[in-house]
Every structure is written in structure tokens, then in C-alpha cells.
Amino acid sequence: MTQRLDPALHEWTAHERVIVLDGVCNWCNAWVRFVIERAPHGTFRLETLQSQPARQILRELQLSLDNFETFLLLERTRVFTKSTAALRIAKQLSGLWPLLYCFIVVPRPIRDAVYDYVARRRYKWMGRTDVVERSSKEHERR
């Protein structure tokens, strides 16, 4: 899914790229640490779905405010979700990770089915925390 945000209504549109994720999901937090280590020069700003600006965006996109089924990638005014967001992030990482972007040719319903499979099981596989994690100085800086 790709939608656009009105820059007059959303402060995060001033940033080149913002990843908005479930801050209590251990899987998501591990994934963010992975991205931080491989994203050159602070490519991404990080925010949580639990924040007020994120809740406003979720309402606009008609996504759940409680059961987070996806994370968001904001590229200025454009919003990407699920597998498209993940592949666009991989494209920005150092090393061989940008090669994963070739999977963008797979039809989105198929990619998103795989994404949904993992998303539904992420708490079972890696658990969750009671507080939004801000685990490192680098995470805080972004």
C-alpha cells in the first residue's frame, strides 16, 4: 500500500525517511537494531506506532490503532506498508541487502501474504515488552 500525507498536517514529512514500528515488539526492535547497524549516515529516523503522530497517520490510513499489523515507511509524503516498506528499506542498507529489492517484482499480494504470516507470529516467536524500547544512543539520536 502506498498513500500520501499532507505535509502541512504531519511533522514527519520533513524527514527523508522515517520508520514507524511497534515499539513493544521484540522482533521489531531487533529488526530496527539490524537496520541501524547497516544504514549509512543515519538514513532513517525512527518512531513508534504508539506515538500520537503515528496514531494520527494510522487513523488517516484507516489502520488499526491497537493491533499493529504492519509498520510504516514514510518517504517524505509517501507512506509504504508491509513488504513494500521492508523492501524499500533493504534497498537503502549497506552490503548486499539492497539485492533483496529484486523481490519487488513478486506481486504484492504474494509478498504481503509472507509478511502477514511473520507479523501474526512475531510476538509468539520473540515476545513483547511492556515499554517502548529505546535501546541505544544511536536509536535515541534518530
Q: How far is CA 50 from CA 29, 89, 97, in A?
A: 14, 21, 28
> By mean pLDDT, which of 8-12, 38-42, 50-54, 128-132 is the weakest?
128-132
pLDDT of the residue at 131? 60
**How many structural domains are present in the chain?**
1
Its domain, for residue 123, covers 2-132
pLDDT of the residue at 102? 97
Residue type, 82: K
59 within some domain: yes
Q: Identify the CATH number of the domain in which residue 47 sits.
A: 3.40.30
Given a cut of 80, is residue 45 above it in pLDDT?
yes
pLDDT in tens, 67-125: 888 889 999 899 999 999 999 999 999 999 999 999 999 999 999 999 999 988 888 89
Alpha carbon distance 28, 139 (integer Å): 13
pTM attached to this predicted model: 0.83
> In the chain, what's the furthest Cα-to-Cα distance?
39
137 within some domain: no
- Could you identify the residue written with the cell 513494500? 84
